[in-house]
Amino acid sequence: MPEKPNIILILCDDLGYSQLGCYGSEIETPNLDSLANYGVRFTQFHNTAKSFPSRACLLTGLYAQQCGMSENPAAIVNSISLGDMLRTAGYTTLFSGKNHSTTPLYGFGFDRTCEFLGGSTNHLNPGPQRAGEPYPIDKGRVGNYSTFNFDNVTNKAFITPAGYYSTNFYTDEAIKFINNTPTQNPFFLYLAYQAPHDPLQALEQDIAKYRGKYLAGYTGIREARWQNMKELGVVDPSMTLSAQNTANWSSLSLDEKVKEDARMAVMSAMVDCIDQNVGKLIQVLKQRGQLENTLIMFASDNGACTEGNENNTFNVPNIGAIGSINYYAYPGDSWPNVCNTPYRYFKNDSYEGGICTPFIAFWPAGMPNKGIINNNTYHFIDVMPTLKEISGGTYPTSFRGQNIVPMQGRSFLPVLQNGMDSARLKPVFWQWANGTAVRVGDWKAVSLKGTWALFNMSLDRNETKDLKTTNAIKFNELKALYDNWIATVGNKTALNTTSKYALKLFPNPSKNTIHWSHIDDLDEVVVTNLNGVIVHKIKNQITDFIDLNNLANGMYIISLYQNNQQISTQKIVKE
Ligand SMILES: [Ca+2]
């Protein structure tokens, strides 16, 4: 093995399986394609279907249920980070991008950080309004601005210059960190973009490359991707494409078609910009003479996303054009199915559309085989053992006064070194929101909102032929493994067969309203005061907000119910 490589781990946000050129997309990603052509593409690499659990899992090598990150963005516990481990091997450790926990990475194994702690924010301006520009729209900020940390300095109001764009900014900060690292020191950079997560916003010159391209409609783009994927070998060509799950393009009005085209053009521009920034990183490595002995990995934290309602009330009215600083656009209900081609379902689900990520690994000095494709099952828990094996770092049993849970994954270094690997013996598990799943060999048992199915993934990667009844023995075997695992990791609420959500509240103090997500799955919303008295109740005709104007100031508890079971609860304060 060559001397310790530099390591760059690039994570993007809500990017579906077919969103890169080297995975079949029409989006121009020449830099990522070149990494894939000289490296390895994995076709069954998995995340957790949601941002913060995926990020925790990737960072720690543990399931999110084992490190305090399976319910809400919280403190990461009973774990060390990739940064902690790589420090023991002499690495300088750098982080730039979206963290999405309450644990700043500056105190969690990283020497230099530029970190956005939240889940999403305006890509063009996460801080105060700039002179001559509209107020930046957002859903999360409540009269405040998104919090950024630069090393140990917290910026509540992050002042950004005109022309700011999240993807460019995170990369530029990362490049400064790299250039301040002596070339004889191996470095680890974790670069975590917030693109292409909503709000869909991009730079005009990037949007212009794609505007009009998506008037071809959902079917045309999806089937073109499917053909490309078969030619590239990133899907099994013997499988059939799953049923399309989009609106009927021909039933849309011209105005709706133009809006849908804009939505997808902006999302593609966001992905294109990520690729341009990967190109900037490659240039930096070339200038330092380090491209050959740098391991670059690329992944997404979950599949494409159908969440969001543009009629919600944001901090300012949703006006302007899709893609601009004052319009909060979501991917909508149809394009995510195209982005997840050929798989079914979405972010928050344990079907492959939610959990299967494109995953590229590139390391010229360490990989004798170029352009290979690996079809075995991997998961974010596998990155920690892989980097430990490559770096010679140590993984402790206790650290920072806490017991550290043992690593859960297995190294994929054999794929890099030999182009092949052995069968995976241990089961892999998922549990988040709508979904739960367990995978053993070719078999996957998966539930969606409590309804289980069984699939043979070697014959049916699209999860279209449910074998739960015809092979009840196999199903029961897998289900028992899952039940045992979830009981072991101690996530009690997940034992319910109903779905469970982390309640996301989007308060609008100017109007005294509070919005929430997942409206389709709720049948009752109850607001009680601290004495348990119900002060507000919504049943049957569920709205996606409550109006607090008629309530006295004070603390309330808001609870969401599904099938008569409380699935989420949170305290709110009316001031
Ligand atoms: Ca995400």
Tell me the domain boundaries of the chain: 6-418, 428-488, 505-574
Q: HEC states along 97-156?
A: EECCCCCCHHHCCCCEEEEECCCCCCCCCCCCCCCCCCCCCCCCCCCCCCCEEECCEEEC
Q: How far is the CA of 51 from the centre of ligand 1 (A)?
A: 4
Residue 299: name the closest of 386, 377, 192, 450 by CA: 192
Q: How far is the CA of 417 from the centre of ligand 1 (A)?
A: 30
Q: In terms of DSSP bridges, do strands 435-440 and 112-116 run parallel, antiparallel, or are they unpaired?
A: unpaired
Residue 263, both tokens: 């939505």
Q: How far is the CA of 165 from the centre of ligand 1 (A)?
A: 18
Contact 127, 159 (CB under 8 A): yes
Q: How far is the CA of 225 from the centre of ligand 1 (A)?
A: 22
Those residues of the chain that have pLDDT short of 70 are: 140-144, 490-513, 515-521, 540-544, 563-571, 573, 575
Q: How far is the CA of 409 from the centre of ligand 1 (A)?
A: 21
Q: How far is the CA of 15 from the centre of ligand 1 (A)?
A: 8
Q: Please give all residues whose CB falls under 5 A of ion ligand 1, grouped by chain where several chains appear.
A: 13-14, 51, 301-302
Contact 4, 89 (CB under 8 A): yes
pLDDT of residue 140: 59
Domain 6-418 has CATH 3.40.720.10: yes
- Strand ranges across the sheet with 545-547: 505-508, 513-516, 545-547
Q: In terms of DSSP bridges, do strands 534-539 and 524-529 run parallel, antiparallel, or are they unpaired?
A: antiparallel
Q: How far is the CA of 361 from the centre of ligand 1 (A)?
A: 20
Residue 284 CA to residue 561 CA, distance in Å, equals: 52
pLDDT of residue 500: 41
pLDDT of residue 21: 98
pLDDT of residue 559: 77
Contact 98, 196 (CB under 8 A): no
Q: What is the CATH number of domain 428-488?
A: 3.30.1120.10
Rounded to the nearest 10 degrees, the angle between the axes of helix 30-38 and helix 254-287 is 50
Q: How far is the CA of 14 from the centre of ligand 1 (A)?
A: 4
**CATH architecture under which domain 505-574 falls:** Sandwich (2.60)
Q: HEC states along 234-262?
A: CCCCCCCCCCCCCCCHHHCCHHHHHHHHH
Residue 119: name the closest of 196, 52, 173, 65 by CA: 52
Contact 111, 94 (CB under 8 A): yes
Who contacts 532 (Cβ-Cβ below 8 Å, separation ≥6)? Answer: none
Residue 127, both tokens: 């801080």
Q: How far is the CA of 303 from the centre of ligand 1 (A)?
A: 8
- Do 6-418 and 505-574 have matching folds? no
Q: How far is the CA of 195 from the centre of ligand 1 (A)?
A: 9
Who contacts 423 (Cβ-Cβ below 8 Å, separation ≥6)? Answer: 376, 441
pTM of the model: 0.86
Residue 69: name the closest of 498, 491, 415 by CA: 491
Q: How far is the CA of 211 from the centre of ligand 1 (A)?
A: 24
Q: How far is the CA of 416 from the centre of ligand 1 (A)?
A: 27
Residue 124 CA to residue 169 CA, distance in Å, equals: 10
Q: How far is the CA of 488 from the centre of ligand 1 (A)?
A: 26
DSSP conformational letter for 530: T
Residue 81, both tokens: 């980070």
